[in-house]
Structure 1
Amino acid sequence: MDMTATYDEISVFSYSIMYSNLIQMDKLFFCIATALLLTACQQNSAPQTQPELPAQAVSLTQPPDQFAEYWYQGKAEISSYALEQARYGEIHDGHAVLVYVTEDFSKKKQVKLDHPEQAGADRVPILKLNFVKKFTTGIYPYSLMQSVFSPVDVQAYPHALKTSMSAQEWCGHTFTQYNLQGKQYRIHGFSYFESEGDVELKLPAVWLEDEVWTRIRLQPQSLPTGTVEMVPASFYLRLAHKPFEVQQAEATLSSPENEPQTRIYELYYPAHNRRLRIRFESEFPHRILSWEEQYPDGFGPNAKVLTTKASLINRLNTAYWRQHNNEHEGLRAQLGLPEG
């Protein structure tokens, strides 16, 4: 027997079977791949079902065009409030003003841009708040002002880029500024008090209570709740002569049973026995209606828990920066503010 021929025949037969099997496998793989591709195409062509948002989130959001129509009309929103301010263990009458306006901000320099059209990627649209309090203690007046610069895009920029606060009264004046740098806030503080002096320090980029006032207007459903690390308000830290530090706060966002169109955001700091309650509209543009701040006021054994209160007087949407002549003084009367 010619064994070589036999082996060759067997080899050819074996290879033929293997090739035939490979062809069949290729066909099978092709069919499977085609079926998967057709299924994927059908899935992609079908309309996507959006996840249903919680009821609270729906009631606290607004369409982008509604936001633009309100905030990009070339006007600021000015709200005036009757103020009852705790100071020196007593309540003093005064007034407060919240001025909200959108601006173009420099991400690098952290100042308002002079030429935003030339800034390129350095331009960040922000919502700015200027928060003013004025009240009198005995013979001399207090004037407090805080500015908060919060990017409109809270997903890309989850925290304010900058805040500043100044206080003036007859004893002297103080100034504080926070600048966001990476994952830290750089803080500069200046005061006429020796114990407070001129300080520079850094804190982790946690929530600032100061930025709560802009987040309510931008996206209140994203306000932090539960146990939160937060730096207390600049106004409070200066008036109470407290250090700049991160505190734990208990935060809640609720809707009063008898006021379905409003929301209340509340912060409580156990370390300071201090509570802040901000009442605002649940629907866009989430205007702030009133607030209360409660904490031990005064110094030493005479300190007692008092409540600062502010309630809305009136509101104007106007380009106030063009209304600086004598003829415009009547607008202050519309806001219920004193002359001068």
Structure 2
Amino acid sequence: MKKVPFATLLLGTLAITACQLNGSNDQGRLAASASFRDYWYQGQAELSRYSLQQVQYGAANPGEAVLIFVTEDFRTDTQVKLESDERDQATSVLKLNALRRFVTGIYDYSLYSSVFTPVDTDQFEHSLKVTFSAQDWCGQTYTQLNLRDNGYQVLGHSYFEKNAEEDYTTEEAWLEDELWTRLRINPDQLPLGEVPMIPSAAAARLAGQKLEPQPAVGTLSAYEGKAFSGKNLRQYALKYPQAQRELRLVFESTFPYAIVGWEETYPSRGKVLTTRATRTETLRSDYWTHNAPTDTTLRQKLGVGRY
């Protein structure tokens, strides 16, 4: 038998384990419904690509968004992906990696957020962690929220003077960023009526706002608009009266509650405009194993990079 160099074996192992996401921890999995377990614990992620018109600088700018949903085992103490045998320190989370790329004139933006929401929502009322980074031709920002005993610890680093270094704690409240994952777990658990809400890290960055709870109003209803197509669609709307901003998530009414698109309406340079993202493709894949040049065919299938 031909020997394989140790370095080759090591690199191959790292390539597989770096993103191998299985969500195998019993805590959380047992709390989920049978349909949830059958869909989300099969060793695959759900990848969806959206055509995007993103409002910035008083105009709707062309781009694309990608939502990557997948389950994984997550340490509740250090709030990182479990890579050891200490399963008593972990719970199963539904993770969302959300990417938005859009062009503003000569230069472009890249927004990337990750949300870690425990599947066992009875034990964990809110998401444990959110990370967010933004890159454009002016500079970069990074923000992280961790749920601690006394609320959400917010750490931030930015090229911009206004929020160059941030380190503070805000009270525990609903996160706009976690609405996406909670919707996929059970949309009937989404907050309704008047509720304190911490805006999404992306929205706060684009508006130059501090991440702290704001008064908001949530509603859940049948979708009756014409911007998105599908059967028996529902809509979750979240309004921020003080900020004059509204988010609308449109999704399929039956499990797995796929998100067909979303809209955000808010003021930008004296105009009230609407961001819109419309789903174009969805596929399920163990994408972390498809990292060879020949696997670019999957990118073509998903349609990314064509805006």
Q: Given the alignment of the two structures, is residue 163 of structure 1 paired with residue 92 of structure 2, yes or no?
A: no
Q: Given the alignment of the two structures, is residue 98 of structure 1 paired with residue 67 of structure 2, yes or no?
A: yes
- Kept in 1, the 8 Å contact 2:32–2:119? The answer is no
Provide Cα deviations, 1:54-112, integer angstroms capped at 9, x if missing partner: xxxxxxxx982211110000000000000000011111100000000000000000000
Q: How does 1:256-335 map to 2 (within 5 A)?
A: 256=223, 261-298=232-269, 303-335=270-302
Q: Given the alignment of the two structures, is residue 74 of structure 1 paired with residue 36 of structure 2, yes or no?
A: no
* Structure 1: segments with no counterpart, 5+ residues: 1-61
Q: Given the alignment of the two structures, is residue 89 of structure 1 paired with residue 63 of structure 2, yes or no?
A: no
- Kept in 2, the 8 Å contact 1:79–1:314? The answer is yes
- Kept in 2, the 8 Å contact 1:329–1:339? The answer is no
1:223 aligned to which of 187, 190, 197 = 190
Partner Cα separation in structure 2 for residue 72 and residue 308 of structure 1: 33
TM-score, scaled relative to structure 1: 0.78
One-letter amino acid matched to 1:281: E
Partner Cα separation in structure 1 for residue 93 and residue 212 of structure 2: 26
One-letter amino acid matched to 2:235: I
Number of residue pairs the alignment of both structures matches: 273
Shift of 1:260: 6.2
Which position in structure 1 is the counterpart of 2:109?
142
Which position in structure 2 is the counterpart of 1:211?
178
- Kept in 2, the 8 Å contact 1:189–1:198? The answer is yes
One-letter amino acid matched to 2:295: H
- Kept in 1, the 8 Å contact 2:231–2:252? The answer is no
* Structure 2: segments with no counterpart, 5+ residues: 1-30
Partner Cα separation in structure 1 for residue 32 and residue 133 of structure 2: 36
Higher-strand-fraction structure = 2
Partner Cα separation in structure 2 for residue 294 and residue 64 of structure 1: 34
Partner Cα separation in structure 2 for residue 91 and residue 324 of structure 1: 33
Shift of 1:175: 0.4
Which position in structure 1 is the counterpart of 2:81?
112
Q: Which has the higher contact order (CA 8 A, sep 6+)?
A: 2
Which position in structure 2 is the counterpart of 1:133?
100
Partner Cα separation in structure 1 for residue 32 and residue 252 of structure 2: 16
- Kept in 2, the 8 Å contact 1:249–1:270? The answer is yes
Which position in structure 1 is the counterpart of 2:33?
64
Shift of 1:257: 5.4
Which position in structure 2 is the counterpart of 1:13?
none
- Kept in 2, the 8 Å contact 1:165–1:234? The answer is yes
Q: Which 10-residue stretch deviates more, 189-198 or 221-230?
A: 189-198
CA distance 1:227–1:335, shift in 2 (3 Å):
same
- Kept in 2, the 8 Å contact 1:332–1:339? The answer is no
One-letter amino acid matched to 1:225: L
Provide Cα deviations, 1:123-142, integer angstroms capped at 9, x if missing partner: 11000000000011111111
Moved over 4 A (4+): 257-260
Sequence identity percentage: 45
Larger Rg: 1
Which position in structure 1 is the counterpart of 2:4?
none
Partner Cα separation in structure 1 for residue 224 and residue 206 of structure 2: 34
TM-score, scaled relative to structure 2: 0.86
Secondary structure, counterpart of 1:195 in structure 2:
helix
Q: Which 10-residue stretch deviates more, 327-336 or 84-93?
A: 327-336
Shift of 1:183: 4.0
Secondary structure, counterpart of 2:161 in structure 1:
coil
Which position in structure 2 is the counterpart of 1:41?
none
Partner Cα separation in structure 2 for residue 67 and residue 120 of structure 1: 21
Q: Given the alignment of the two structures, is residue 177 of structure 1 paired with residue 144 of structure 2, yes or no?
A: yes
